[in-house]
A and B are shown apart, each in its own frame.
Chain A
Amino acid sequence: MIRSHFLNLVLFSGLVAVFFAFLTQNDSRSRARVILILGGSMVVLSLIVAYVMYPFPLP
């Protein structure tokens, strides 16, 4: 069992990115680009949303 939120996030993003890369692209270069862009944006956007939500719930 993986208890790290960040590791779960990275694993989930990676699996989803690889899945869609192979589903939608036919060549290795395009797949690598989709994995980087999709996986990276899932991780980065989640961290941004987490940072914005940090003050909530308000005291």
Chain B
Amino acid sequence: MSETVLDPAASAPRASVDPWIPCLLAWLAPGLGHAYLGRKGRGAVFFVVVLATLGLGISSDGAAALIDPHQPLTYLATFDNLAVGPLELLSRVATYGRIVYRLPEDEADPRHIELTDRLRKKVRSVTFEYGNTFLLTAGLMNILLILDAFDIATGRKD
């Protein structure tokens, strides 16, 4: 049965809602923005799907991206990782043993050596590419959820 039929009020935009609140909630926990807007079932499905995607990424030896100023695409990958919200910290700790976002520029820096060693261990895993794909997809999904929550809150979408 249609979610709209079950809860007709859910299809109407919440007039008094600041659209940034559901966006922030959607970033804090996937699906929470939708739940806040009255779409609890849909929000629960999104939470499970994004969490499963993230979990598969971590268990498949995917690596959280680090910002490397010499490689501009790492900015995008790190932004994508961050889009999952606080849950992203799990993948970062699983990859590097701590919360770190930037690779030191000096290649002789012991921190640079340690981080690249940890990354190489992941890269050697046969499922590394799968893991990375799952991790990046979880981020992309949550970006879409944040935008969707914004559209619902502003009445652009039912």
Interface residues of A (CB under 8 A from B): 1-3, 8, 11-12, 15-16, 18-19, 22-23, 26-28
Contact = CB atoms under 8 A, between A and B. Distances in A.
B42 A22 contact: yes
A2 B3 CA distance: 34
B3 A1 contact: no
Nearest to B4: A26
A1 B144 contact: no
Contact of A18 (B49, B127, B134, B145): B49
A12 B144 contact: no
Interface stretch (B55-63, B74-82, B93-101, B111-119): B55-63
Given A27-B3, A28-B1, A1 B49 contact: no
Nearest to A9: B130
A23 B52 contact: no
Interface string B104-144: 00000000000000000000011100100110010001001
A8 B2 contact: no
A12 B130 CA distance: 9
Contacts of A27: 1-5
Given A12-B134, A15-B49, A15-B53, A3 B127 contact: yes
Chain A residues touching B, majority SS: helix
B52 A15 contact: yes
B127 A2 contact: yes
Contacts of B17: none
B46 interface: yes
A51 B72 CA distance: 34
Contact of A2 (B42, B46, B60, B144): B60
Given A1-B127, A2-B127, A12-B133, A19 B2 contact: no
A24 to B, nearest CB: 9
Nearest to A28: B1
A11 B137 CA distance: 12
B158 A26 contact: yes
